[in-house]
Structure 1
Amino acid sequence: MDTKIIVNHALRALLYEVTVNPKPGLVDPLSVGPHPDMNAFMFIDSALSLAPYFNACAAAGVAYTAVDLTGLFKQIRGIGVQAEQTMFAATKGVNTHKGAVFSLGVLVTAAAYQLQHPDVDLATIVRTMLAGLTANDFNDLNTKEPTTLTAGERQYLTYGIKGIRGEAEAGYPTVMQVALPALRRSRGTINQRLLDTLMAIVQATVDTNLVKRAHDPHVIDWVHDQAHRYFDLGGSRSEAGMAFLRELNQIFVDHNYSLGGSADLLILTIFIGLQTDILA
């Protein structure tokens, strides 16, 4: 494998995710869910605009020789800020893939670094790259002007939720321990397999995007129950399971709920699934 294949897998992961349907609370070819400012074509444009960014991440990862991997993360973080602006230019200011710019950029970089260090597993590389991330990013939040806080910073102060930073710093345990095993177990078409994997993620995680939309962390208990119900009905390979997803999407639309955090974790799962031939 070379860096071109890694970048190809990253772009495919973004495109696969938006194609999967019907996804409750998310954009797909059949519904924009609670996102009237978005559509599937915008996500395609956004994904393709990030190709130079992923190439830069892969190049940084494969060329890095220092012992301290936190320096590698610092190197790509600046590139990521520029990539966000590229994404916003492609979408005319709409945030389609900001979470993926961060997380998928980290995984692409780690996968490229792994080419030169095949004896080190991906999660270990990520944990080493991001050591101290949460402490550094959330340092002195109490001294910041409340109106300048990001949604993630507010959730950390209010509920103690570390969000994607905590997930990333831990080496993406939801992806490694929940989503990838779910993808391995899954059967059916690619769409069916990825729907079941998405709902396994929803069932196991605290989606900070959902908490933000609901203004209430207790919504997580509710959505976990919905994911359990989906699997009880037979999941993607049953008519009842698919009908339930369509009904659930309408509830998300009515309440302006989104599962953007779960979608980002699905993207990462697809990427690793392609890398490891789980998704072939």
Structure 2
Amino acid sequence: MKPEELARLATRALIYEVSVNPKPGLVDPVSSGPHPDMSVFTFIDSSLSLQPYLTICAQAGDGWIGTLPELFASLRRAGITAEREMFAATNGVNTHKGAVFSLGILVAAVAFVQKHRDTSVQGVVQGMLAGLCEHDFDGISDLPESELTAGERLYVEHGLTGVRGEAEAGYPSVFDVGLPKLLTASGTLNERLLDTLLAILTHFIDTNLIHRAGTLDVLPKAQAQAQAILDVGGAHTAAGKALLAQMNDDFLAQNLSLGGSADILILTIFMALVEGDI
């Protein structure tokens, strides 16, 4: 698959994710959820603005001859420019900052594996990001709290590594949870993707959710709600739809967001498109 085609699939994954509805705590075509400064159109504009960057990531992985950590370093530099393009397209709204990081990594890894078939996508990601958490979190406990990002604050206070830890481990929430659930879920593609999002939430430590709530207690409660929907048959059943509607109402009332889980869903959709599973 050519780099340009990989970039198109990655862009499709971004648009597919925002199209899935109704998603608790997230923007979709029906609702902006707890994000009044965003709409589905904001996300479409953002997605299209990132396609040139995703092409760069695919081209980098396709032609890379250096070490894998050096490949990641090159993606980080390209990602800085991509973030500026995203903010320009959305009038300063942060729609896809997490996806710039994670989707760029995965696109490059897939492109690399297509040329070096003696390895796996997960293996390449792990090789690219070895030591990431140790590097990125080194010394942050000595910084004033006012200088810490939300993710850094959660690391200092609770030891949560967030998306960095997920990435360094090779995105197990994608390969061990998201993709298997997508393959076995029932109903329309929209309903299957909803069930996939819920399955991801039951296993993934969504630091965006924790940050919004201001407490770790929110995670097991949200995971229990997601599991209850899956236990009654998922989003394609009447019982599942009713519980999902209640979860939507609860998240909106509490101003909660599943931004981290949404990024994992994007990665899952991308891999499913690459593998021809959707």
TM range (shorter): over 0.9
RMSD, aligned α-carbons:
0.8
C-alpha separation between the residues in 2 aligned to 1:89 and 1:252? 29
**Structure 2 residue identity aligned to 1:34:** P
**Structure 2 residue identity aligned to 1:140:** G
For residues 237-266 of structure 1, the C-alpha deviation after alignment (integer angstroms, 9 at most, x for no partner) is 112211221221111111110000000000
**Could you tell me the TM-score, scaled by structure 2's length?**
0.98
Listed as ranges, the matches of 1:93-104 within 5 Å are 93-104=92-103
Q: Which moved more, 1:74-83 or 1:138-147?
A: 138-147
C-alpha separation between the residues in 2 aligned to 1:194 and 1:237? 11
Query: How far apart are residue 188 of structure 1 and its match?
Result: 2.0
Counterpart in the other structure of 1:162: 161
Q: Indicate conservation of the 8 Å contact 2:133/2:168, yes or no.
A: yes
Counterpart in the other structure of 1:196: 195
Q: Indicate conservation of the 8 Å contact 2:188/2:236, yes or no.
A: no
Query: How far apart are residue 130 of structure 1 and its match?
Result: 0.5
C-alpha separation between the residues in 2 aligned to 1:100 and 1:81? 12
Query: How far apart are residue 160 of structure 1 and its match?
Result: 0.6
Q: Indicate conservation of the 8 Å contact 2:106/2:125, yes or no.
A: yes
**Structure 1 residue identity aligned to 2:48:** L
Listed as ranges, the matches of 1:32-51 within 5 Å are 32-51=32-51
Q: Which moved more, 1:17-26 or 1:241-250?
A: 241-250
**Structure 1 residue identity aligned to 2:193:** L
1:144 paired to 2:125: no
Counterpart in the other structure of 1:21: 21
Query: How far apart are residue 81 of structure 1 and its match?
Result: 0.9
Query: How far apart are residue 226 of structure 1 and its match?
Result: 0.2
**Could you tell me the TM-score, scaled by structure 1's length?**
0.98
Q: Indicate conservation of the 8 Å contact 1:186/1:197, yes or no.
A: yes
Counterpart in the other structure of 1:64: 64
C-alpha separation between the residues in 2 aligned to 1:22 and 1:233? 17
**Structure 1 residue identity aligned to 2:148:** L
How many percent identity over aligned positions?
52
Q: Indicate conservation of the 8 Å contact 1:152/1:163, yes or no.
A: yes
Listed as ranges, the matches of 1:151-230 within 5 Å are 151-230=150-229
For residues 24-45 of structure 1, the C-alpha deviation after alignment (integer angstroms, 9 at most, x for no partner) is 0000000111111100000000
For residues 213-246 of structure 1, the C-alpha deviation after alignment (integer angstroms, 9 at most, x for no partner) is 0110111110111011111222111122112212
C-alpha separation between the residues in 1 aligned to 2:227 and 2:105? 31
Where 1:236 maps in the other structure, the secondary structure is coil
C-alpha separation between the residues in 2 aligned to 1:217 and 1:164? 16
C-alpha separation between the residues in 1 aligned to 2:242 and 2:132? 41
Where 2:77 maps in the other structure, the secondary structure is helix
C-alpha separation between the residues in 2 aligned to 1:119 and 1:197? 29
1:245 paired to 2:244: yes
Segments of structure 1 that go 5 or more residues without pairing to the other structure are none
C-alpha separation between the residues in 2 aligned to 1:180 and 1:234? 18
Q: Indicate conservation of the 8 Å contact 1:13/1:270, yes or no.
A: yes
Query: How far apart are residue 73 of structure 1 and its match?
Result: 0.2
**Structure 2 residue identity aligned to 1:199:** L
Q: Indicate conservation of the 8 Å contact 1:50/1:83, yes or no.
A: yes
Counterpart in the other structure of 2:79: 80
Query: How far apart are residue 187 of structure 1 and its match?
Result: 2.2
C-alpha separation between the residues in 2 aligned to 1:242 and 1:195? 10
Listed as ranges, the matches of 1:3-14 within 5 Å are 3-14=3-14
Where 2:269 maps in the other structure, the secondary structure is helix
